[in-house]
């Protein structure tokens, strides 16, 4: 029992030291990018950019809906993609929500959790923020689900690199304020990040597991 506790403590110390090293080396650069983005790009422009990025990743959400055995969620995701890509101007505007197809998020980390895969050690990834081994692996797997990853055309490499970089910055920009608050106020930021991230992910996983929405879409019953 003592040996198990000692291993857990050593694992936490090792993970924390690696996380701190990564933050010290990469956080200042990432923060400079985010500060420049917020300063140069107005919120009214960042929102459509976020919408386009969300629309681009819709095939990833659809694939995970299918793998999770959620046909109605998969159908809603497909309808969102078709509506926002056409009526929403390639995703600039979230028209689908107003038409009865609200967005739901999911990823391969959630899928793996529903399949029984454990969290693994907690991680704090540069730019992306809090994660764990399962979700970090899921993030890599989700990249393989995106059709753009296999597209070959003039400048396709540059497009994919830009898409990944802008997506990472967009995700990090939405976390920067709560992360700063924790760093400023928490006695043990590492433990706080780990606890908050774990609770959020468990809530997302439980919500997905219990989602047994009926077949007719929301607008049908209006």
User: What is the spatial distance between Cα 75 and Cα 71, in angstroms, rounded to a whole number?
Assistant: 6
Q: 218: which DSSP letter?
A: G
Q: Strand pairing partners for 129? A: 125
- For the stretch 27-77, pLDDT in tens is 555 566 666 666 666 667 778 888 888 898 999 999 999 999 999 999 999
Model pTM? 0.77
Counting every residue written for the chain, the total comes to 222
Q: How far is CA 79 from the centre of its chain?
A: 21
pLDDT for res 209: 95
């Amino acid at each position: 029992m003592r040996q198990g506790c000692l291993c857990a403590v050593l694992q936490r110390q090792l993970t924390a030291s690696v996380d701190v090293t990564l933050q010290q080396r990469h956080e200042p650069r990432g923060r400079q990018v985010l500060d420049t983005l917020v300063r140069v790009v107005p919120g009214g422009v960042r929102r459509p950019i976020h919408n386009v990025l969300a629309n681009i990743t819709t095939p990833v959400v659809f694939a995970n809906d299918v793998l999770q055995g959620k046909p109605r969620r998969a159908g809603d995701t497909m309808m969102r993609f078709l509506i926002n890509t056409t009526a929403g101007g390639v995703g600039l505007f979230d028209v689908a929500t107003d038409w009865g197809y609200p967005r739901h998020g999911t990823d391969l980390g959630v899928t793996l959790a529903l399949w029984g895969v454990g969290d693994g050690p907690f991680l704090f990834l540069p730019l992306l923020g809090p994660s764990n081994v399962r979700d970090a692996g899921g993030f890599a797997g989700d990249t393989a689900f995106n059709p753009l990853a296999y597209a070959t055309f003039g400048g396709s490499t540059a497009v994919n690199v830009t898409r990944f970089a802008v997506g990472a910055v967009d995700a990090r920009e939405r976390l920067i304020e709560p992360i700063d608050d924790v760093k400023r106020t928490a006695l043990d930021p590492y433990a706080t990040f780990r606890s908050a991230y774990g609770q959020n992910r468990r809530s997302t996983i439980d919500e997905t597991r219990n989602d047994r929405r009926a077949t007719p879409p929301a607008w049908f019953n209006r």
